Structure 1
Amino acid sequence: MKLLTANFISCAVKACKSSSLSFPLHFKDAELASKSVPYNPLLLSNLLPRLDWPALVTSSKELGFTLPDTKPELPRLSATAAAAATTTSDGDMNMDSGVGEEDEKTLRMLHKVLMETEVVEGKMSKNNL
C-alpha cells in the first residue's frame, strides 16, 4: 500500500466510524519497499490540496521519513506547462515548473514518500494501539 492510499482510508469497523480516532490509521511492524516511479510534479501539485497533511506527516514519521510540519504552499502547475514538458530517459517529467529550489526539493520528497514508497507487510491500527 502506498502512503498516498493510506492518507485516504480510515477504520472500517462500524463502532469506530464516528470516532475521531478512526483516522489516520497507524502502521505497526511495517516492511517498506521502494519502487521507482517517474517523477511528475504536475500530479504532485494537484494532489497536495487533497491530502490530509497532519495525517501524512504522522504516517511518514512512523515510517522514518521527515516532512515539514506545515503543508507547503506550492503553486498549482498548469497542464500547459506539462504539455510543454519533456521526458527524461528514466521517465521523469522535466518541466519548467516555476517553483523555487526549496519547493522543488519538497516536491521530490513528496514524490519519494507518496509515489515510490510502499508498505508491503505490516499492520494498521487506529490511534496507534
Structure 2
Amino acid sequence: MKLLTHNMLTSPGNARGFPLKIEGATVEEVETDFNAEFISRMVAKLEWDALLGALQQLGVAHQLPSAVPDKYAEDEAFLKALHHVLVEVEVMEGELVCPETAKRFPVKGGIPSLI
C-alpha cells in the first residue's frame, strides 16, 4: 500500500475514521519514475499532518517540511522528496487501525482490506 493510498483511506462507516494508524508494518521502497506534474497535482488532495504521522509511525526518514511550501510546484527538491514518500514507500504487511473504534484492517502483500 502506497502512502498516497493510505492518505485517502478512512474506516468505513465511521465519522472520525481518519487517519488510520499503521501498526506492525513491513515496509519496502520501490523505485518509480518521477512525474513532477502528477505529484504537484496531488499536493492539494493530501492531508499533510496525516502523511507526516504515517511516516512517523513507520519510522521512515524523510526530508519533508512540517508544512507544504507556498511555491511547491516550482520546488523540485520538495516534489522529489514527496514523490519518494507517496509512491516509493510501500507498506507490504501490517494493520490499519481505526482511530474511532480501534477496529483492525489487515494489509497483506501491499493490499489493504477494509472489509
Q: TM-score, normalised by structure 1?
A: 0.69
Cα distance in 2, alignment partners of residues 39 and 109 from structure 1:
10
SS in 1 for 2:22: strand
Gaps of 5+ in 2: 103-115
Q: Is the 8 A contact 1:31 1:122 kept in 2?
A: yes
Q: Is the 8 A contact 1:57 1:68 kept in 2?
A: no
1:37 aligns with 2:9: no
Question: Which of 64, 69, 89 in structure 1 is aligned with 2:66?
Answer: 69
The structure with the greater share of residues assigned to helix is 1
Which residues in structure 2 correspond to 1:79-90 (within 5 Å)? none
Q: Is the 8 A contact 2:22 2:95 kept in 1?
A: yes
For residue 22 of structure 2, what is the aligned residue in structure 1?
A: 27
SS in 2 for 1:50: coil
SS in 1 for 2:59: coil
For residue 8 of structure 2, what is the aligned residue in structure 1?
A: 8
Paired residues in the alignment total 99
RMSD: 1.8
Q: TM-score, normalised by structure 2?
A: 0.77
Cα distance in 2, alignment partners of residues 29 and 106 from structure 1:
28
For residue 114 of structure 1, what is the aligned residue in structure 2?
A: 86
For residue 41 of structure 2, what is the aligned residue in structure 1?
A: 46
After TM superposition, give the deviation of residue 74 of structure 1 in Å: 3.1
Gaps of 5+ in 1: 77-98
Q: Is the 8 A contact 2:26 2:93 kept in 1?
A: yes
How big is each residue's C-alpha offset from its partner over 1:16-71, in whole Å with a ceiling of 9 and x where there is no partner?
A: x12x3x10001001001111110111111111011111111111111123432212
Moved over 3 A (4+): none
> Based on CA coordinates, which of the two structures has the bigger radius of gyration?
1
